[in-house]
Structure 1
Amino acid sequence: MVSKPDFFAGTGEDQFRPELQVESPEGELHLRFFIPSHQEFALLATGIREVIELSPDRITPIPNASPLLLGTLNLRGRVIWVADLGQFLGDTTVLNTDRAEISVIAIEEQDTIVGLAVEEIGGMDWLDVQNLVAPMNIPDTMAPFLRGEWKLNTGQHQCLRLLDQTAILRSARWAG
């Protein structure tokens, strides 16, 4: 039996202490990450199957495959392709695979899964897609895969670009 008065609902001011109020997040949950050239991107969390930090030796290289592909990975009994996302987007900076761990974002739509190797995971953020603007000064190789961008710091021209995982998964670039 609970007999401490602290456990019972208070009346008046005690009921509405600011430290107990939870703000409702605005927008949708997104994963933020960086490619090797230090550009920051985001993906909608609902399209991500999982994020994996793994040793590069767990990715099996496949001879004569597209140069965008690092190889394959066994993800819980399912073999998936792993691509260098930066190169896929047309960036010239190649992902450094000579390190202890590589971050791979497994994206999924219907029955298709692809692993996107990135430089660094930035974290999760609630972002409002209503604040997206048309991307500016982007390479033609990247344009088909962007839904828009958020301006982070207008003075330094920093932006966070939202990728379209469906466009990435359905891209003809995987053919070679």
Structure 2
Amino acid sequence: MLRRHFCSTLPTIQGQQRAEVNPWQVNEALHLKRGDSCRSIYYAVNTQFVKTLAIPERQVIGDAYLKFQLAPRVPAVIAVRSVEEATVLPVSEVTAIPNMPPCMLGLVNRRNRVIWIANLVRLLGMPVLERPRAQYSMVIVKAGSALGLMVDDIEGIVHLPAEALSPPPPQVNPILVPYLKACAVQDDQIVLVLDAEAVLQSSVFQRS
């Protein structure tokens, strides 16, 4: 009776035949004894099966950052908590405003709210390689106020543990340092960790 119960209750995987089971080995492995109720036996067998198939969740280590290309081959990240939106915006939706600093591309209406759009490379004082665009890759950051930042390309979310962050190395352009929280290394590249508040407090933006 005990043998038939085990053979009928042992779970099977679809498409596979049930292997022959020695009930006394199962008893010993699951710490069962003669006289245990059917409910106890069924619970023990199925619990053990679930434990066997359980796949541990992938552990995510570090804070979440949005990664993008500030310029070609210049990777950067900004903390996800400072990002309101990442999107691709047709150039035609941006209204240019005359007599503004060169970094300011204009205004855009996003969800019934008008915000400024800035070329992040220009805003940070880096040299710019101009090229025709039909659309902007835009990251809207928020730190009290909101500002849209045009970047070269948006890549996605990455996680960086605190120990992966370090002060900017000497090869980082000094004009960028006031806008950085740290740097990291990924795929043998230096990744700039931007400070959203510092970007929004740029003197160039304040004059606009």
The Cα shift of 1:99 comes to: 2.9
The Cα shift of 1:52 comes to: 1.5
State, as a whole percentage, how many aligned pairs show the same letter: 26
The Cα shift of 1:16 comes to: 4.4
- Partner residue in 2 for 1:125: 158
Alignment of 1:1-176 (within 5 A): 10-17=46-53, 20-94=55-129, 96=131, 98-110=132-144, 112-136=145-169, 137-154=171-188, 158-174=189-205, 175=207
SS of equivalent to 2:60:
coil
Which TM-score applies when normalising by structure 1? 0.85
Does the aligned pair in 2 maintain the 1:90–1:139 contact within 8 Å? no
Q: Matched residues in 2 for 1:76 and 1:94: separation?
A: 31
The Cα shift of 1:161 comes to: 1.1
Cα distance change on mapping 1:68 and 1:13 into 2, 3 Å: same
| Code of the aligned partner of 2:107 | T
Q: Matched residues in 2 for 1:116 and 1:95: separation?
A: 16
The Cα shift of 1:13 comes to: 4.8
Q: Matched residues in 2 for 1:70 and 1:129: separation?
A: 34
Cα distance change on mapping 1:37 and 1:92 into 2, 3 Å: farther
Cα distance change on mapping 1:109 and 1:13 into 2, 3 Å: same
Task: Indicate the structure with greater strand content.
Answer: 1
Task: Indicate the structure with greater helix content.
Answer: 2
Which TM-score applies when normalising by structure 2? 0.72
The Cα shift of 1:73 comes to: 0.7
Structure 2 unaligned blocks of 5 or more: 1-10, 13-41
Structure 1 unaligned blocks of 5 or more: none
**RMSD (Å), alpha carbons:** 2.1
Quick one: higher RCO (CA 8 Å, sep 6+), 1 or 2?
1
Task: Report runs of 4+ in structure 1 exceeding 6 Å deviation.
Answer: none
Cα distance change on mapping 1:16 and 1:159 into 2, 3 Å: farther
Q: Deviations over 1:89-135 (max 9, x none)?
A: 22212453x3332111000112x000000110111111113321111
Aligned length: 165
